[in-house]
Amino acid sequence: MESLKQAIRERGNVLSDTVLKVDSFLNHQVDPKLINEIGQAFAERFKNEGITKVLTIESSGIAPSLVVATHLGVPFIFARKKKSLTMTDNVYRSQVYSFTKQETNEITVSKDLLHADDRVLIIDDFLANGQAAFGLCEIVEQAGAQVVGFGIVIEKSFQDGRKKLTDKGYRVESLARIQSFKNGTVQFVDEFVTQLSK
From the annotation, which residues make up the binding site for xanthine? 20, 27, 156
Strand partners, 123: 151
Please name which of 95, 87, 54 lies closest in space to residue 73, comparing C-alpha atoms: 54
The answer to whether 165 and 189 have CB atoms below 8 angstroms apart is no
Binding site for 5-phospho-alpha-D-ribose 1-diphosphate: residue ranges? Answer: 128-132
Q: DSSP states of 34-63 as a string?
A: HHHHHHHHHHHHHTTS---EEEEETTTTHH
Binding residues: 20, 27, 128-132, 156
With H, G, I as helix, E, B as strand and everything else as coil, classify residue 21: strand
Q: Is 12 exposed, middle or buried (0-12, 13-18, 19+ CB in 10 A)?
A: buried
Contact predicate 135/98, CB 8 Å: no
CA pair distance 9, 126, nearest whole angstrom: 16
